[in-house]
A and B are shown apart, each in its own frame.
Chain A
Amino acid sequence: MSEIKKTDILIVGGGAAGLSAAAEAASYGAKITVLESDLHLGGQLVKQTHKFFGSKDEHAGTRGYKIADIILKEIEDNKENVEVHTNTAAVGFYKNDGIVTAMSGEESYFKLQPKKILMATGAQERIIPFPNNDLPGVYGAGAVQTLMNVYGVVPGKKVLMVGAGNIGLIVSYQLMQAGVEIAAVLEALPKIGGYWVHAAKIRRLGVPILLRHTIKAALGKDVVEGAVIQELNDKFQLIGEPKKIDCDVICLAVGLTPTNEMLWQAGCEMKFVSQLCGHVPVRDAKLRTSHPDFWVAGDAAGIEEASAAMIEGRIAGLAMSEALGLKIQQENYGIYQERLDSLRRGEAGEKIRCGLGMAQITDWGNK
C-alpha cells in the first residue's frame, strides 16, 4: 500500500477507446498504465462476433473480437511502454495530490500517481421498470453477449428482445446464430433505432419487430415463463389489449449511459446531454476535459459506435502525448478528426453531432 506507482499516462478502461489510446501514445514513447476491471482486455469488442461498419481505417468488414486482437498486436510492438493490470478497477481520485487508488481483485489496493489520465470507462446498461423485472431470465443485452460470445453459454431457448437499437438488433441476430429463437423484438418508437440493414437481416429470418410496443410485465414464479406486451400510441400511452408472449428470456437492450464517476470526483465540468445519453464531461476537440490532466474517450464521453470510440482513443492518446512534451505526428490530428467527422456525417450521426454541439468547446484557453 505504501509504494506509489508513477506513470506518464493512466488509462482507465482497456476497451476499444482505451486500447486505441494506449497504442497511439505508446508509439510516441509514453509510459502507460492500463487498468481493466474485467479479467481480460478488449472491453465490448471481444463480445462482438459480427462484422463492423465504418471504413477500412476502423477495420470495417472485420469481426469485432478480431479488431481487439489487431489493436493488442499493435500495443505488443511497444510493450515495454505499456503496463496492464486486469481484474483491477480505479476506485478513487484524490484532487489534493492527484493520486488514483486502484483495487486489484477484491482485496488488494495500490496507489498511482499519473501525469495524465484518460477515462475510457465505457458505459452501463439501462434497465426499465416493469413488474417482475427481477426474475431470473431478465437480462441486459451486454450480459447475454458475455454469456454467449465469451463463455459459450446460451441464456435460454426463446428470447423476447426489448429495444431495436443496434444492440437489440445485433444481439438478436447473434442469438439466432447460436440457435436461440427470438419471439419478437419490441420498440417503443415508431421506427427502429439501429441500422436498417441490421433489422432487415433478422426480419428475413422471420423475426417480428413490433414498433410502438412495450413490455408490461414479466410472467413466472421462480423464473421467466413469459411476458405481457402492449401497443403504444404516439403519446406513449398503452392502447389495445395486452398480449401474452411465450419466452424464457427477456433481454433488455434499452440503451446505455456513460460511466464517468471519477470525472465528477476530479471536479470536471459535467453536462447532461440527452443525445449523448447522460452526463458527460465538457471537452475540447482533443478530448481534454476542464481538468487539465483528464481526458475522455469512447462511450464515457457519450454513447456512440465502437468505430468512433477507437478514433477518439487515438486522438486522446495523441493529445496526452503532446501534453507530456513528446514528439508526436501532428498531422494525425487532422487525419483522425476527418475520419471521425465522416463517420458522423450521416443520418445515424445526427444525434451525435447535435450532442457534441452542446458538450464540446473550441478551446479551454489558459484554464
Chain B
Amino acid sequence: MKNEKLYNSGVLTELCKGAVLPPKELWENKKGGLVIIECPQRIPCNPCHTSCPTGAVVEFKDINDQPEIDYEKCTGCGMCVAKCPGLACFVIDLTFSEDKALLKLPYELTPMPEKKDKVWCLNRVGEVVTEGTVENITEPFKDSTKVLHVSIDKSFVDQVRSVRVVK
C-alpha cells in the first residue's frame, strides 16, 4: 500500500481489493450511478450484500471477504449506502449533467441540510475541496441514516467522501 502510515490511520491511498472503481465506459453512461465501496480490510461483515436488491454486491464466500461488485447489475439505488455500518459505500452518478456529478453519501450528523442547501465537500482527510448542492435527501431504511444526494463538479468525484453542513 502506498503511503502506508497514512493508510494505517484510515485513509485510502490507492485502489486495492475491496476499494475499486467501476469500468470507465459503463460508469460514464450509467444513469443513477454506480457504487464505490471503500472497504479494503478483511472484517466479518456483509450487509452491503444482504441489502443489495439486484445482486450487484456479489454473495460473500466468507463473511470476512472484501466486497466484490458486479457492475453490470448495479443500479446506483444506494441501499448499501444507507445500510453499511462502516459508512463505506458511495454512489457516484456521472450522468447528472454536463459538468456535474451526483454523489450519494451516508449522513448521520447534525445539522441536517435541506434541499438546495450548499454544503462543504470534504476529502478523505476532512479538507474542504469544493462546494456542493444538496439535490435530495432520502432515508431508505427509516433508521436515521440519511443518504444525501449532492451535486459537485465532476473533477472532484475521486476526492469527495463527506460533507460538512454549515447552518
Contact = CB atoms under 8 A, between A and B. Distances in A.
Those 3 A-B pairs whose CB atoms lie nearest each other, nearest first:
A206-B126, A199-B10, A197-B86
B97 interface: no
Interface stretch (B23-31, B36-44, B149-157): B36-44
B145 A342 contact: no
Interface of A: 50-56, 60-63, 164, 176-177, 179, 190-192, 195-207, 209-211, 307, 342-349
A200 B38 CA distance: 9
A173 B45 CA distance: 19
Interface residues of B, number: 42
Contacts of B122: 204-206
B44 A50 contact: no
Contact of B9 (A54, A192, A205): A192
Nearest to A349: B44
Contacts of A347: 41-43, 64
Contacts of A209: 9-10
A349 B85 contact: no
B110 A177 contact: yes
A27 B72 CA distance: 45
A166 to B, nearest CB: 10
B87 interface: yes
Contact of A198 (B46, B86, B110): B86
B75 interface: no
Contacts of A204: 122-126, 161-162
Nearest to A197: B86
24 contacts: A51-B47, A56-B50, A63-B143, A176-B109, A192-B9, A195-B43, A196-B40, A196-B43, A197-B86, A198-B10, A200-B86, A200-B124, A201-B10, A201-B86, A201-B88, A203-B10, A205-B126, A206-B122, A206-B125, A207-B126, A211-B5, A343-B44, A348-B42, A349-B64
B101 interface: no
A93 to B, nearest CB: 35
A195 B41 CA distance: 8
A53 B45 contact: yes
A343 B63 contact: yes
Interface string B128-164: 0000000000000001110000000000000001101
B9 A211 contact: yes
Contacts of A342: 44, 62-64
B53 to A, nearest CB: 14
Q: Which of B39, B85, B145 has the most CB of A within 10 A?
A: B85
A63 B127 CA distance: 29
Given A51-B84, A61-B84, A195-B41, 5 more contacts: A192-B9, A204-B124, A206-B127, A345-B62, A346-B43
Contacts of B47: 51, 56, 60-61
B11 interface: yes
Nearest to A66: B143
Given A177-B108, A179-B110, A204-B123, A346 B85 contact: no
Contacts of B10: 192, 196-203, 209
A202 B88 CA distance: 12
A302 B3 CA distance: 34
Nearest to B5: A211
A192 B43 contact: no
B88 A203 contact: no
A176 B164 CA distance: 12
